[in-house]
Amino acid sequence: MLAIRRLIPTASNNTKADMHGPQTTRATRDGHFHRSIGLFSGTAINMTQMCGIGPFITIPIMVATMGGPQAVIGWIAGAILAVADGMVWAELGAAMPGSGGTYVYLREAFQYRTGKLMPFLFIWTVLLTIPLLMSTGIIGMVEYLEFFFPHLGWWPVHLVSLASTALVTVLLYRRIESIRAITIALWVIMLLSAVGVSAAGFSDFHSSFAFAYPAGMFGGHFFVGLGAGLIIGIYDYLGYFTTAYMGDELRNPGRTMPGSIIISVIAMMFVYLILNISVLGVAPWQEIAQSQSVASLVVERSWGHVAASVMTILIIVTAFASVFAGLLGGSRVPFQAAHEKVFLSVFGKLHAKHGFPHVALLTMGVVTAIGTFFDLTDVINMLLAATIIVQSIAQIAALMVLRKRQPTLSRPYKQWLYPVPCVIALLGWIYVYVSASTLSLILSGAWIVIGLVVFAIWARVNRSWPFASVEVREAYLGSD
């Protein structure tokens, strides 16, 4: 068995890897960050990240998957899983505030036995999952573009997808200091779109369509459909954990962290339910299930072609802006890890002139472009299958490990009814994983296996575990 070398952060040790140490964290709190984000603003931040083009492209898939108006059950099940998992995020985020999120939690929990393996694998997975999430935005944007150009063939569709991805990458190929204005604009446009589509649906609402439940809908096939529906549902809730990345800026993290997560999930559940019911009340569910641009269909049926054209443009802008903001933030994640010597050093390089992580941006841009060649459902399945093992289930294990390994760790919030939420989240994620498509399981599994090989090579070159002793740095433990 290899020896363990325990490193204790000190005030004089100012390497980037120590930026979350006890001394530095207190200084950051006192000197740089202001605890200005309360429950209301934290909830708004989470909801902003959860909102986007998601429901406008997934309602037909959810209805088709669930086989009728009972599709609402998919969003309710997704909300239950998101709340349970959000309570995992809340405890970890409140205890270990600052940038990094999952990367930090896995680093702290699993360093005792496997060194840097788990945070490395997480960043490796991020190189796949964030671009795939952006691919769904591009795919959705092109689907709504077909409202104006209904006879686009296979090649034109994919050429537009590639051109859109290239345009986003080019626009990001420079120093961009803040995306606050983009995020606010995205939220406003999305809100207008959701309210507009719901209003259009209810203005020409037919209960005979909205509640036309098929016979035997709770038969033996129901749970198969529910698993696939849960995949779509949890995809639409992604972003409920955003405040977990902002622990150092929250007022009373023990209250704001869990409150913002739970309230945002429940609020978005009602948004999705209202949107879903309003859409189903406009046309038979079989027609909704076949629609490529369901929001445009609803508005056109209720208010005419001009109104539908305006709504379609808003949704296209929302999709493009969400991809822009997502790639901008996502490209910084592998850079941070590489800079802390926990990931491939090439991703830690900045552009010589503009000073942004260009290697990560280009890599993610390429993966995004590749993702647009897959079916939307396959992309969602792949990104969740890859995320579940290395992030979702790993975080549940991390919470349990840290409770045992670091019992004196300051925890402003401790999970209510522990370990019940952990068990619910674990069972939910396993159910989602086994419900994913075979293709997504194969491709995501292959990506993780390749990551293990890359890690072994990287660890050998850098003389890290398993080719050297384990280095333990308990960054968040220390006397006050």
How far is the first Cα of the chain from the last one, in angstroms, to the nearest whole number? 34
Domain boundaries, the chain: 19-464
173-189 residues labelled b (16+ CB within 10 A) or e (exposed): eeeeeebeeebeebbeb
Asked if pLDDT for residue 31 goes beyond 60, the answer is no
Q: CB count, 10 Å around CB of 163?
A: 12
Alpha carbon 112 to chain centroid, angstroms: 28
Task: Scan for tokens 């647009």, then name that residue.
Answer: 372
Q: What is the pLDDT of residues 375-427, one digit of tens each?
A: 999 999 999 999 999 999 999 999 999 999 999 999 999 999 999 999 999 99
- Poorest-confidence range of 251-255, 274-278, 283-287, 452-456? 251-255
Alpha-carbon distances of 56 from 267, 276, 293, rounded to whole Å:
17, 10, 7
Q: What is the pLDDT of residues 241-275, one digit of tens each?
A: 988 877 777 888 888 989 999 999 999 999 999 99
Q: CB count, 10 Å around CB of 313?
A: 17
Mean local confidence (pLDDT), 335-364: 88
| Torsion of the alpha carbons at 45, 48, 50 and 54, rounded to the nearest 10 | -170
The region, left, alpha or beta by phi > 0 then psi within -120 to 50, assigned to residue 252 is left
Tell me which fold the domain 19-464 belongs to.
Amino acid/polyamine transporter I (1.20.1740)
